[in-house]
């Protein structure tokens, strides 16, 4: 994967497919919405049967308890069944879990006592992306040539002029006394409002950070040459130029943000993982969309071109 220094040369066609304030390109034969998985877990204070009780339970009851007490991914369809709501192509998570007005929707407790955590926004687990990519590369004549656009706003991705060094907040978190001292000191160079901002490198090189972007409605992206076939292997993260090595140095597992937009050189399809969406949209042929929606490893439904994917787009659930 290499940086595209002239993103308009290969990406201008895509900009022509967007309307203002929309994040999915128009004009493809069909569209699929791939729902990112949520998580469910039992709460610590919920009683667990001991072994003697367990072996006396019917098989159906054992299976019910396994589903009740585990900590796992869960689909939107399963979640809707628990909360008594309806799953449909334009469903919105906060309505699937029946969130009352003014109440947080990221974590909800169901009537059976389980805790449901909302899906990730901006990307899906690498294992799910690998499954999706297997369909994408089967429906292009250029599986080994394409482009990946990464939203420039991911934390510390690109260098910038800052009055505090990149990542400084991580150091302060481990020493609250140090943080208090800095907050109270008007002479500290990190907090001085008159301090001149200086350049602080990001994960990507200064050349890339200062280079041109692929400009789309409300979003700017750094563009890379990237073979779609690469993403069929969850290990793509290890070779991504935008891999977050500074976090790894702090003990975190290897991580790289999923491409916000991915398309092959022949433009047969476009995959969009908008940073505020808890689902990924694929625009392409009717055959591709049918294959994605038929794969039981993914939760995907067909949607129309121009579908309302905003929080108010769910008109089925109150």
Provide the residue ranges of all domains of the chain, joining segments of one domain with +.
Answer: 2-36+122-159+201-303, 38-117, 161-195
For residue 228, the model assigns a pLDDT of: 97
- Average pLDDT on 95-106 reads 88
Q: How many helices and strands in the chain, by DSSP H and E?
A: 11, 15
The tens digit of pLDDT for each residue in 101-157 reads 888 889 998 988 889 999 999 999 999 999 999 999 999 999 999 999 999 999 889
| pTM of the model as a whole | 0.81
Report pLDDT for 143: 97
Mean of pLDDT values over 14-18: 90
| Token digits of residue 100 | 């009352």
Mean pLDDT is lowest, of 121-135, 200-214, 274-288, for: 200-214
Helix axes 126-137 and 286-294, enclosed angle (nearest 10): 140
| Model confidence pLDDT, tens digit, residues 214-266 | 999 889 999 999 999 999 999 999 999 999 988 888 888 998 999 999 999 99
Name 130's Cβ contacts closer than 8 Å, sequence gap at least 6.
231, 232, 233, 234
Write down the pLDDT at residue 196. Answer: 77
């Amino acid at each position: 994967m290499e940086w595209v220094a002239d993103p308009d040369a290969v990406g201008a066609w895509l900009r022509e497919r967007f309307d203002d304030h929309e994040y999915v390109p128009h004009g493809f034969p069909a569209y699929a919405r791939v729902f990112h998985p949520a998580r469910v877990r039992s709460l610590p204070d919920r009683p667990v049967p001991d072994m003697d009780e367990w072996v006396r339970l019917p098989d159906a009851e054992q299976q019910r308890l396994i589903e009740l007490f585990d900590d796992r991914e869960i689909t939107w369809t399963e979640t809707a069944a628990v909360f008594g709501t309806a799953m449909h192509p334009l469903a919105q998570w906060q309505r699937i879990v029946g969130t009352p007005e003014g109440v947080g929707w990221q974590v909800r407790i169901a009537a059976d006592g389980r805790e449901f955590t909302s899906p990730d926004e901006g990307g899906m687990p690498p294992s799910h992306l690998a499954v999706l990519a297997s369909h994408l590369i089967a429906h292009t004549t250029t599986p080994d040539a394409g482009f990946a656009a990464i939203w420039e706003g991911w934390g510390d991705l690109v260098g910038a002029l800052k009055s505090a060094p990149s990542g400084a907040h991580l150091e302060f978190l481990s020493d609250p006394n140090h943080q208090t001292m800095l907050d109270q000191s008007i002479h500290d160079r990190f907090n001085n409002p008159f301090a001149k901002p200086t350049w602080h490198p990001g994960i990507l090189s200064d050349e890339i950070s200062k280079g041109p972007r692929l400009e789309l409605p409300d979003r700017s992206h750094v563009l890379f040459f990237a073979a779609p076939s690469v993403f069929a292997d969850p290990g793509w993260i290890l070779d991504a130029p935008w891999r977050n090595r500074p976090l790894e140095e702090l003990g975190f597992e290897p991580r790289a943000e999923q491409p916000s937009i991915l398309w092959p050189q022949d433009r047969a399809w476009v995959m969009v993982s908008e940073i505020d969406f808890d689902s990924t949209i694929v625009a392409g042929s009717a055959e591709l969309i049918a294959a994605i929606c038929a794969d039981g490893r993914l939760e995907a439904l067909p949607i129309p071109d121009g579908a309302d994917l905003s929080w108010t787009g769910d008109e089925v659930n109150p």
